[in-house]
Structure 1
C-alpha cells in the first residue's frame, strides 16, 4: 500500500523485547506464567507492590508495559474483555455527565452507553466524518467523546486529530479512541491527541482467535490511577495464562499486520473489479471517501474490507455459504479469514431503520482477511461470488 505514512522504526523490536528481559532469571528468554493468587508479605502493616493477583500480577504487568510502549503511552491496563475495558473506562462517569459518540461505532459500545441511562448518564450519536457535528454535539456536561479510528463495519476513517482538537477546546473532555481495527502498528491515537486508546485484544493484537481480553493505553497519571483503582476494585482482570498468550502474540504483531494489510489491499482491488460486487470499502483505495485522510494519519490499513454483494440477502447468504477457505464467523483479526453479514450478526440493538440509515444492509459483507495465501482467498471469493449470482 503506497502513500501512507512511513512506518516508525523499532516497533517490532519493542513488541519482542519490552518487559521480556525477565528479572526472575538472567537465563530465561521468555517470561514465566505467574499463576499465584497470593504473595507472601514481609510485615502485616506494610503494603507490598504484590499482594493479591486481582491488584497486580507480574505476567499481567509485563503485558501492560509492552502494550503501553507500542502506543507510545505511559500506562496500560489489561481487562478480561473489550467490553470489560469499556465498562471500566465509563465507570469514571458521574450522574449528569454526557457522552458524545461517533455514528456507526461498535454495537457493543452503544449497548454499554445505553445502559448508563440508569445512572443518569446520557449519550448522543452523530456522524463524526463531518467535524461540524462534533462541534455542535459537545455540551457543557460532555465528559467523554468516544470514537473509532475506523468505523465498524463500513470502515469510515475518522479524523482523530481533528476530533481531539475540538474536544480539548472544552474543559474536562476526554477523547477515547477504539483502535482495534488498526492496532498501534497502523495508527497511534495518543500521538494524534487522544486521551485513551482502547482495544479488544481478542482481535489483531492477539490474532489467533483463542482468547478474550481488552486493554486501555493512556498517558495521564491521574486517569491511570483512577482506572487502576477501578480495575482492582471491579475485578475484570484477565488470567495470567491469557496475558501470556497475548504477550506471545505481540511478538509477531508487526509481521502479521504487514501481511494482513498486503493481502487485504490485493483482495480489495480484486473485489473492486468483480462483476458480482456493487461497492468496496477499503481506505487504501482511491474510491474510499476518506482515502486522503487515511493516507495522512495512518501507517497503513489492516485486513478489514467491507463490500456489497449484488442482489439481496439470499444472494449474499449463498455467497457466504459457498466459500471453502473463508469461514462464516462474527469476529475478526485472526490468522483465519472470516466473513459476516453485520446486519444480522453484529447489529446489537439497532433497529432495521437505524441500520438502513447507516448503510448496513442485508447484502453488506464484512471480510477479515487472514494470513492464508492471498491467491487461494481470491479463488475462493471468486468462485463463491459467481455462484451467488446463479
Structure 2
C-alpha cells in the first residue's frame, strides 16, 4: 500500500518520468502497434488494445490511490461493470442493491434474464433482514453502491465483507460518487472497486471511461486477460485526458464539498422541498456509517420537489447555472430528473421500490461560486411558486393545448436520443 498522500499521488501522476527526453508531463502514446526488437522478440508493448503506456500509467495511479494491486482502465463505466462480471458464471449468483444506478441495473437484469450469464438476487441493504437474504442466496459476488444513486443511501461495507467471507463471495464496490479521495473500499475489505472515470476522476465532462481496481494481483491479472479478450480497454487519448483531470482531484473535491454543504443548508430551508437526501445530514439514516467509512460526504445530493410533477419543466427552464443533463462529477453543476433520465430504464414498479418518486431531483454540485448556485435554485423555486397560482396553472395548461402527461411521456420515449434507455 502506498505511503504517499492522495494529493501527491494524483498531482504527480507520471510527472518527470519520461526516460527519452526528460519531459515533465508524460507523453501521449497514440500508436496502435509497436515494433518488435527482432523476430520473436517483442518488447514490453506489442498492441495497444492489450497494453498502452498512457493507459497503464492511469491504471497504476488509480491502483495506488485506491490501495489496490492492479488498476485496469476501460472505455466506459459500463464496460468496467461488464469486465467485473467475467469473474462469475451461469451457476453463480450475483447480489445487487435494489437502488443501484439504472444503467447497472439494466446490465445486470438483461445479462441474467436474456443471456443466463448468472443468477440474480436483488437485496435492499437498508432493511434489517438484508443479511438473511444475502446468506440465503449464497452469492459468488456482491455488488455494492454506496452512496447509492440517486438517493444517497449508505451501505456498511465492512458488515457486507464480513458476511461475504462465509461463502467466499467477492465484494465489488462502485466508488464513483466519492472517488478514492473520500472512500477507500479496498481498505474496508472489498475485493474490487469500480469507477466511471467519466465522473469525478476526470472531472471535466470531456471523456467517457471506466476503471476497475483489484485488491489482489491474481484477480487483477484475470481481469486484465478478459479486458484484452473482450476489447474493452480505453483509448490512449481518453486516458491522457483523464490523467490530466486526475491531477486536480483533491482541490476539486474540496470545492465540490464546500459548495454542496451550502446548497444543502439552503434546500433545508426551502418550503418547496419535501426532503433532502444527503449523508452529511445528522438525521440521514446512514449518517453514522458514512462518517465512519468515508472521509467526507461528497457533493451529490437529491431532493423531492414539493410541487406537482407538471411543474418540473417550469423549475428546470428557470435555471441558468445548473445544467439539465445526464452524468455528474464535472466541475460544472448539473441537475437531472432520475425518473426520466439516469434511471429511465427501470420500469415504474422498480423505480417505486427503489424510492424514486416523480418529483425527485438530483444535483451534482460543481465548483462555481456557491452564492450564485443558490441564487439559481432560488430562481427555479420562485418560478414554481409563481406557476402554482391557480390562474397561472390554467394559462400553462391552455398554452400546452391540453396535452396530457401520459401523452407527453409517450412522446418523450419516442425521441431517438433516448432509445438506448428502454
Indicate whether the TM-score tops 0.5.
Answer: yes
What's the TM-score once normalised by structure 2's chain length?
A: 0.87
Question: The residue matched to 1:44 in structure 2 has which SS?
Answer: coil
- Kindly name which structure, 1 or 2, has the bigger radius of gyration based on alpha carbons: 2
User: Quick one: which of 241, 245, 253 aligns to 1:245?
Assistant: 241
Please say if 1:29 is aligned against 2:34. no
2:251 is equivalent to residue 255 of structure 1: yes
User: Helix, strand or coil for the counterpart of 1:344?
Assistant: coil
Shift of 1:352: 1.1
Distance (Å, rounded) in 2 between the aligned partners of 1:165 and 1:135: 13
Of residues 126-135 and 325-334 in structure 1, the stretch that sits farther from structure 2 once superposed is: 126-135
Candidates 367, 371, 376, aligned match of 2:367: 371
RMSD: 1.6
1:70-99 CA-to-partner distances (Å, cap 9, x unmatched) read: 111111000000001111111222121110
SS at structure 2 position matched to 1:343: coil
Q: 2:83 aligns with which of 85, 88, 97?
A: 88
1:27 Cα shift? 2.7
1:148 alignment counterpart: 145
Partner of 2:154: 157
Runs of at least 5 residues in structure 1 that lack an aligned partner in the other structure:
1-7
Over 4 Å off, 4+ runs: none
Q: Note the C-alpha offset of 1:351.
A: 1.6
| Alignment length (residue pairs) | 382
Bigger Cα displacement from structure 2, 244-253 vs 34-43: 34-43
Cα distance in 2 for partners of 1:56, 1:24 equals: 18
Cα distance, 1:120 vs structure 2: 4.4
Contact 2:96 2:120 survives alignment (8 Å): yes
1:265–1:282 CA contact under 8 A, matched in 2: no
Contact kept in structure 1, 2:69 and 2:220, CA below 8 Å: no
The DSSP-based 3-state class of the residue aligned with 1:279 is: strand
Mapped to 1, the partners of 2:317 and 2:4 lie a distance apart of: 42
**In terms of mean alpha carbon deviation, does 237-246 or 341-350 score higher?**
341-350
Query: Cα deviations across residues 9-64 of structure 1 (Å, max 9, x unaligned)?
Result: 72111111243332334631100001111111123334432111111010011111
Shift of 1:133: 1.1
What is the alpha-carbon distance in structure 2 between the residues aligned to residue 120 and residue 34 of structure 1?
Answer: 36
Does residue 267 (structure 1) correspond to residue 259 (structure 2)? The answer is no
Distance 1:389 1:112 in 2: 39
Is the contact made by 2:13 and 2:247 (CA closer than 8 Å) also made in structure 1?
no
- In the other structure, the counterpart of 2:69 is 74
State the Cα distance separating 1:140 from its structure 2 match: 6.3
Give the structure 1 partner of residue 38 of structure 2. 43
Q: Distance in 2 between matches of 1:21 and 1:103?
A: 46
Tell me if structure 2 keeps the 8 A contact 1:116–1:122. Answer: no
Number of the residue aligned with 2:10? 15
8 Å Cα contact 1:135-1:166 kept in structure 2: no
CA distance in 1, matches of 2:360, 2:311: 11
CA distance in 2, matches of 1:140, 1:365: 33
1:169 counterpart residue number = 166
